[in-house]
Structure 1
Amino acid sequence: MRTRPLRVALLGCGVVGSEVARIMATQRDDLAARIGAPVELAGVAVRRPNRSRPGVPPELITADAVELVKRDDIDVAVEVIGGIEPARELITTAMEHGASVVTANKALLAADGAALHAAAVKHGVDLYYEAAVAGAIPLIRPLRESLAGDTVNRVLGIVNGTTNFVLDRMDTTGAGYSEALDEATTLGYAEADPTADVEGFDAAAKAAILAGIAFHTRVTAADVHREGITEVTAADIASAREMGCVVKLLAICERTADGASVTARVHPAMIPLSHPLASVREAYNAVFVEAEAAGRLMFYGPGAGGAPTASAVLGDLVAVCRNKLNGTTGPGESAYARLPVRPMGDVVTRYHVSLDVADRAGVLAQVATVFAEHGVSIDTVRQQVRGGEASLVVVTHRASDAALSGTVAALRRLDTVRGVASIMRVEGEQPK
């Protein structure tokens, strides 16, 4: 075994970073045996160096992250700061000075992954990021290594634990959105500012990363259609239940039927209770990968949290350290396919549309005519009248998003339609 330790610069020592430091210390001997050389922390960069950090030697703490990654003795930089800057500068500086990089930074990878991969190639180092998507669940490595010889057609799943917890609570306890979000915050599943989660930004970044790897093409977060869960109501949850469905925030990345382009989207959707994703509870994540030869694969587990995410970080750390010892690098970016990302308007799926309408004869006929004029076929219609208020719930057959948007715009112009209460996509098997 090589005696000189591989030295690691840890950038960030919050929930995830502190767990990385703890595992490196408690599993020191096992990590050395698995890698083939000792591995040790050379420095820990933080914004507030005077804060107490149990388990981290004070002499390793520094506020100068740039100086840390410029050191010649750093073999690997582990970035768990998050955000775009200063993370981008620190990662590229570390690479320029010969360090491989392990990162959990989904936002940066989804925004500028191509440039980071190019920098890694230029400087002959690794860029690993298993922890950027779905926490402890092995997903990135199976996509870019285990399935490298297959053709992946679809990636579909729940990739944000906060939103899954909120929607699960709304479904199982009858809680409203705000009440469920408050509980998620109390339990530590939601940040003080939950915008990135509940508005779908977090899931969209992960979808971009997954689509890029799965389809060998460059996909950024800006290419991903994004809708959050803030508009999901108790009425939506109840309607889903009546249909034998449940509401989930889904990330859906898929090749078009002709294989010449791809789509990527994040939005709430109704899925039937028979679908395996319907049983994914609380803050767990689950992702389906559908490939031509391998068929349908499911990856399930805790998608966030300090220890699960640190597990993914340490897995990458072992891999890049092994590569360092062998003088090699692992797989980099594969974007040879260069497939265009189609707009959301081209996506074809089914829809659940809830309308507040006037309680008088002929309304249903008018509504049905509008759907027909826009080429959207109706599967089922439910009509309810309560205290003089009437509503129609329409579930469609498959239609393009653009056709549905045109339908809704025309419905809003009818004097018999008082409002469009909600629109939600329906995925999975046809509910009966």
Structure 2
Amino acid sequence: MVQIAVLGHGTVGSGVVEVLRKNHGSITKKAHDEIHIKYILDLREFPDLPYADKFVKDFSAIENDPEVDIVVECMGGLHPAYDFVKACMLKGKHVVTSNKELVATKGAELLKIAREKNLSFLFEASVGGGIPIIRPLYQCLAANEVYEIAGILNGTTNFILTKMIREQMSFQDALDMAQKLGYAERDPSADVQGDDSCRKICILASLVFGKHVYPEQVHTEGITNITLEDVEYAESLDGVIKLLGRVKKLEDGHLSVMVCPAIVGRSGQLASVEDVFNGILVRGDAVGDVVFYGRGAGKLPTASAVVGDVIDCVKRLEYKKYLYWEDGEKGYVKDYRETSSRFYLRLKASDAQKVLDAAKVAFGEIQEAHRANAPSDEVAFATAEEIQESKLEQVLSQWEQDGTQVLGCIRLFDY
């Protein structure tokens, strides 16, 4: 019998307990051993639950119990989760976590401890909820040189953008609906400002390219400035707007990592990923494009991935298959201003034709975008060629000094 402890009995933690209890028989067969929940750590009382006797409020009871082999961290946030996880690993306990902030911020350090202590530190559920992505990247696609990953990594923002695209809802109305349906938190800033997607693309980039990418190294933009006008102009360009996290290995060995709204062509593989679903595109030299699709969050989908890691951990208690990456370094992630993209621009100017002429001089060939009932002083277009970010900033700064107002700026990607 393998004894485990669950840290946190919120959405994910309660889901983990539910799955382990409901599927106890089949899980035992798959793990080749019985998994027994000895402790559940939570400060709240749950007297009406059939497993109420398992709850403890003192973390030291778990930390100092030599019978606990595996600790499942479902608390979320950095503290005290990091302190608890590190303490457990230093006591020789394996750890499974769903905590993306923990892995994105402290992954290199915790993986180093795991290797030194001959332990498992597994985190399949930290990216994509119930979508298998971590294990396929280090096992199924191991023969490939993966050179690019792009994904819709946040279901809340994808739901909001879907409502804006399909039902012409304003951003605020779509956000209100997401909150009422339980897709968005009361404070949705981590979702709509891109922080959640940033943590997830950091984890994927670190795993695939072997060095830790920290959130502060990643240029991150959210969707709070996206308007229905932008949605309509994107449609005229035969595209839809998605919030993407992307990492690409450059020819000089550095990484380009970014989270931002992007217009993707309607024929692209990520364009049809809608509502709360996630889609993650992986590009490898041998396999080409592979897309992983499914619910990226939620109680049972995420719990499914966590319990899958627990089963894998139980099967490997005596011999390990390590996940590992080195610590990061300054300059490893290229300054986004040194990278290039195609851009969609929406501008307000007294002389629209003059702006279009100036755009052709600055950027070369452009494709005009259109929407119904656009005011005469509004102009929108997409660049045909990629423009370096720093050059774009210089041009737009000069235009604004000359009286042209920048209303929207969105990158275009081929996914």
Same fold (TM over 0.5): yes
Partner residue, 2:65: 71
Note if 1:425 corresponds to 2:411.
yes
Partners of 2:300 and 2:248 in 1: how far apart? 31
Partner residue, 1:10: 6
Partner residue, 1:411: 399
How much identity, in percent, do the aligned residues show?
30
Partner residue, 2:36: 40
Q: CA deviation at 1:63?
A: 1.0
Q: After TM superposition, list the pairs within 5 Å mapping 1:13-412 onto structure 2.
A: 13-48=9-44, 50-52=45-47, 54-55=49-50, 57-256=51-250, 258=251, 260-324=253-317, 327-335=318-326, 340-359=332-351, 362-369=354-361, 371=362, 376-382=363-369, 389-396=376-383, 397-412=385-400
Partners of 1:277 and 1:13 in 2: how far apart? 34
CA contact (8 A) 1:354 1:423 kept: yes
CA contact (8 A) 2:233 2:371 kept: no
Q: Describe the SS at the equivalent of 1:340.
A: coil
> Cα deviations across residues 67-88 of structure 1 (Å, max 9, x unaligned)?
3132111010000001111001
Partners of 2:125 and 2:371 in 1: how far apart? 47
Q: CA deviation at 1:39?
A: 0.6
CA contact (8 A) 1:80 1:105 kept: yes
- Structure 1 segments of 4+ aligned residues over 6 angstroms from their partners: 336-339, 383-388
Which moves more between the two structures, 352-361 or 229-238? Answer: 352-361
Q: Describe the SS at the equivalent of 2:262.
A: strand
Partners of 1:298 and 1:380 in 2: how far apart? 29
Q: Describe the SS at the equivalent of 2:85.
A: helix
Change (3 A) 1:61 1:121: same
What amino acid does structure 1 have at the position aligned with 2:387? Answer: A
The CA RMSD measured in Å over matched residues stands at 2.0
Partners of 2:307 and 2:202 in 1: how far apart? 23
How many residues are matched?
Answer: 413
Q: CA deviation at 1:216?
A: 1.6
What amino acid does structure 1 have at the position aligned with 2:378? Answer: S
Partners of 2:382 and 2:192 in 1: how far apart? 25
Change (3 A) 1:204 1:336: closer
Change (3 A) 1:364 1:290: closer
Structure 2 stretches lacking a partner, 5+ long: none
Q: CA deviation at 1:65?
A: 2.1
CA contact (8 A) 2:352 2:376 kept: no
Q: Describe the SS at the equivalent of 1:150.
A: coil
Q: Describe the SS at the equivalent of 2:377.
A: strand
CA contact (8 A) 2:214 2:328 kept: no
Q: Describe the SS at the equivalent of 1:276.
A: coil
Change (3 A) 1:413 1:119: same
Using CA pairs below 8 Å that are at least 6 residues apart, which structure has the higher relative contact order? 2
Partners of 2:158 and 2:371 in 1: how far apart? 29
Q: CA deviation at 1:218?
A: 1.6
CA contact (8 A) 1:384 1:391 kept: no
Instruction: Tell me the TM-score normalized by structure 1.
Output: 0.91
CA contact (8 A) 1:46 1:65 kept: no
Q: Describe the SS at the equivalent of 1:278.
A: coil
CA contact (8 A) 1:359 1:388 kept: no
CA contact (8 A) 1:135 1:305 kept: yes
Change (3 A) 1:361 1:234: closer
CA contact (8 A) 2:73 2:81 kept: yes
Q: Describe the SS at the equivalent of 2:173.
A: helix
What amino acid does structure 1 have at the position aligned with 2:146? Answer: V
Which moves more between the two structures, 242-251 or 143-152? Answer: 143-152
What amino acid does structure 2 have at the position aligned with 1:345? Answer: R
What amino acid does structure 1 have at the position aligned with 2:336? Answer: M
> Cα deviations across residues 300-340 of structure 1 (Å, max 9, x unaligned)?
0010000000000011000001111xx11222213499782
Partners of 1:321 and 1:385 in 2: how far apart? 60
Partners of 2:285 and 2:353 in 1: how far apart? 51
CA contact (8 A) 1:66 1:90 kept: no
Partners of 1:360 and 1:295 in 2: how far apart? 42
Q: Describe the SS at the equivalent of 1:248.
A: strand
What amino acid does structure 2 have at the position aligned with 1:268? Answer: P
What amino acid does structure 2 have at the position aligned with 1:282? Answer: D
Structure 1 stretches lacking a partner, 5+ long: none
Partners of 1:387 and 1:117 in 2: how far apart? 54
Q: Describe the SS at the equivalent of 1:42.
A: strand
CA contact (8 A) 2:108 2:327 kept: no
Partners of 2:128 and 2:17 in 1: how far apart? 21
Change (3 A) 1:181 1:34: same
